[in-house]
Each structure stands twice: as C-alpha cells, then as structure tokens.
Amino acid sequence: MIVTTCLLGALVARFPAEWEPQKSVWLSWPRYDNVRDLPVAPAVARLASKLSNTVEVDILVTDQAMQQAANRLIKAAGGRSARIRFHRVPNNEIWIRDFGPIFLKQGNATQVATFRFNYWGYSTQDAKESRSEDLVDTRVADILHLKKKPSTFISEGGNREFNGAGSMVAVWAVEKQRNPNRTQSQVAAEFKRIFNINQVIWLPYGVMEDDLTFQGPLPGNIYTCITTGGHVDNTARFTDERTILLAEVSKQDAASSPIAAESRRRLELGFQVLS
C-alpha cells in the first residue's frame, strides 16, 4: 500500500513519514491467491472497508469485471463507497508499495517519483511482466495529472523507510542486486536527488528467509518463494524522526536453526550500523 497526499506542507518535494496525516491509501486488487484455500480478495476487502472509515481508498483494477467483483466484496464488508475510487491500470500484483506511484509533497502540490522495475530481480526490465508493473506509477501520475520525477534506477518501495525529516534507511544488498553497475554512493546520490534527503542509512543485509529464490536453497534444502532479497520493511522502521525499530532474532532462536542464526548475524550487523 502507498500513502498519498500528506497534509503537512514543505518547501521541497519530499516523501512524508508514514505517521503524518494522509488523505488516501492506495491498494492493488489481488489477481491470484498465494496459498491454496486462503483467498486474498476477502482480506483486501476488509482492509479497504476499515480504511474507508477514516481515509479515502484508491484501488487499482484491470477491468470492469474485476472492479464490480471488488466493489461487491468491499460493500459486503461494510466499506463506505463514497470514499472508495477504482482506477483501471494494467498490472499483475498486489504489492503496490513496491512498484506503484511514490507520492512526493511540495507545499500544496504533489509529484510522483517513478523508478524502474524488474520483478524483484527475477526478470529483466524489458520483459513483458516487468513492463506491466513498471508502467503503473507513470499511468497513475497521468490519471491524476501529476508531474513525474523519473529515475532510471531499479528500486522498490519496500526497501525504503523514511523519517520525513531528511533521513532514509535501506538494505544495500537489495539495491546492489537491482543495480549491479552502480556504486553505493551513486545509488545514495540518486535517492537524495529524488527524495531531497540528507542521508541514506545502509543496512548491509536483510534476513536470510528473504533471500532470492534463484540464489539457491537455504540450509536444510529449503527454497524461498518469490522473495525480495531482503527488503528493509521486513526488519526496520522509523517510528519518529529519531527512532528506528529493528527486528531481533534471540540467541535461543538462533540456536534452533542455521537460518535463524544467519538472520541474527545479519541483524546484529544492522544494529552496529544504527548504533
């Protein structure tokens, strides 16, 4: 989901912190179920319904049939129709935070930051599936008649956390995998240009459970399933301008499996950076 239209003014275009006042939340209606006998659509309908009690809800759908089906489920869940808007934008995935529009505030104006997308590193930029999601942010900007702030870098929203006051935290292993020909300083400079921030705090790795599937099995011959390679939103988040919560794997849990032990090691490296 993506937060939009923060009410706090600013002199430069910036990405607001998640706790700032907001007008709307964007969702993407699910096209498939990840787990057998556990449908996603009813859960998203309940989420949209609850959100509509306090904010507007903008939902991406691919066609009229999907919009009608989504509308029925949301109404059945008690959603407030007057606060829900549908937008027909071609896409295949539910994870709109990663590939969708990134709304920047500049005073009373709104811009959309657009990045490239390659299906979390599983495909190429020019593949059909990548292009479908890659164009979502620009299409939403066009629908809303908003100015675009484009980047040629590949990056997903789930690997970026902001404090709204000039700082961002991200996992370097993810950005390096997506942009192998870019240095850390080049990626940081691009984030500073797009988001008008002062610093990027780099955590070295995400948890092992989120390692990319094509990199091979985890200990115990366990394969991950369409994971991101370590998005920061799995492990760290600002709670105010000067506070970051970081996930922890206890010594007891680390002793129970080599996967937990490696995740603990990585998180401890992150803790050293934050300290």
Instruction: Please write the tens of the pLDDT for every residue from 243-253.
Output: 999 999 999 99
Q: With the C-alpha atoms ordered 76, 78, 80, 86, is the resulting torsion angle positive or negative?
A: negative
**For position 12, what pLDDT does the model report?**
79
Beta strand pairing call for 167-171 and 199-203: parallel
Mean pLDDT of the chain: 94
Rounded-to-integer distance, Cα 76 and Cα 69, Å: 11
- Portion of the chain with pLDDT greater than 90, in percent: 89
Report whether pLDDT(257) > 70: yes
Mean pLDDT for the stretch of residues 212-217: 93
**Domains of the chain as residue ranges with CATH:** 2-274 (3.75.10.10)
- What is the average per-residue pLDDT within 84-89? 97
Residue 5 is predicted with a pLDDT of 41
Half-sphere exposure of 58 (CA within 13 A, CB side): 20
By percentage, how much of the chain surpasses pLDDT 70? 96
Name every residue whose Cβ is closer than 8 Å to that of residue 247 and which is 6 or more positions away in sequence: 207, 234, 235, 236, 267
pLDDT in tens, 45-86: 999 999 999 999 999 999 999 999 999 999 999 999 999 999
Interatomic CA distance for residues 84 and 90, integer angstroms = 19
In DSSP terms, which residues pair with 161 in a beta bridge? 169
| Nearest 10 degrees: Cα torsion 223, 124, 61, 144 | 130
Angle subtended at Cα 211 by Cα 205 and Cα 213, rounded to the nearest 5 degrees: 160
Report the candidate in 211, 201, 193 with the shortest Cα–Cα distance to residue 161. 201
Whether residue 6 has pLDDT greater than 80 = no
CA 30/CA 143 separation, integer angstroms: 21
Collect all residues with Cβ–Cβ distance below 8 Å to 101 and sequence separation of at least 6. Answer: 2, 4, 26, 112, 113, 114, 136, 137, 140, 141
Burial class for 102, CB neighbours closer than 10 Å (0-12, 13-18, 19+) = buried
- pLDDT tier at 11, thresholds 50, 70, 90: low
